[in-house]
Amino acid sequence: MQYQNILVSVENGIAVLTMNREKALNALNRQTMEELKAFFETDAHTIEGLKGVIITGAGEKAFVAGADITEFQGFSAEDGKMLAKRGQDTFFSIERFPKPVVAAVNGFALGGGCELAMACHLRIAGEKAKFGQPEVNLGLIPGYGGTQRLIQCIGKTKAFELLMTADMIGAEDALRLGLVNYAVPAGEEVAKAKELIEKIATKAPVAIAKIIESVTAYFKEDVDGFAKEVDYFGECCGTEDFVEGAAAFVEKRKAAFTGR
């Protein structure tokens, strides 16, 4: 797909996806959401030797400052449902991506931007990062998974507070609450994300993909996550990577995983 609102660069097997609407604080409009979906459902799977994906924002002010509210005006209830469903489907494609996806949050991550960050597997916050779900200020609620993923990240009690007050929190509070994995100096977000992906890339690729599937299964309605764990454990036992990993452990050497 030809992208208009995102930039993708690949170096050493790591794709950096930059939300590229700096003048609009990288707000999520329909075109941007379609590009994100196309990347994670199709284009990313064609990148040879991909280790993982980093999502960040253009400029120094914003990761993603929210959805593009100008597109919401005149919406009916049915229009709203369709928009939320499309947004959730796009973010599911990120959450279920078989390689690690890391949000490198370099500024405002509000509304849809916070939801985008939470759809990633890991989150790095720069010291200028600000997180929040301010939808109630517009007479709305989060529609791209925010009411569900915020609970998963920080728990029900604090999630209720942030969702109902629309308060923003900084990097250190986000780290304390468990919303992000690391808080780093401004400008070091992408470097830390690359460091994490490189570390994960030394592990068995099939096992990493099954970890993502297993953890995601915990939050799926009518899915027995424990049963999925049993299935995926068994599948891993049948891989060449398990044979190699076990042999390397016994022989006290570094494993050479092939992803098979």
| Catalytic residue set | 115, 135
Q: Is 48 exposed, middle or buried (0-12, 13-18, 19+ CB in 10 A)?
A: exposed
Dmax (CA) of the chain: 66
Q: How many CB atoms lie within 10 A of CB 228?
A: 18
Side-by-side strand order, sheet with 169-170 = 62-64, 108-110, 130-132, 169-170
The number of C-alpha atoms within 13 Å of 225 and in the hemisphere containing its C-beta is 11
- What single letter denotes the amino acid at residue 79? D
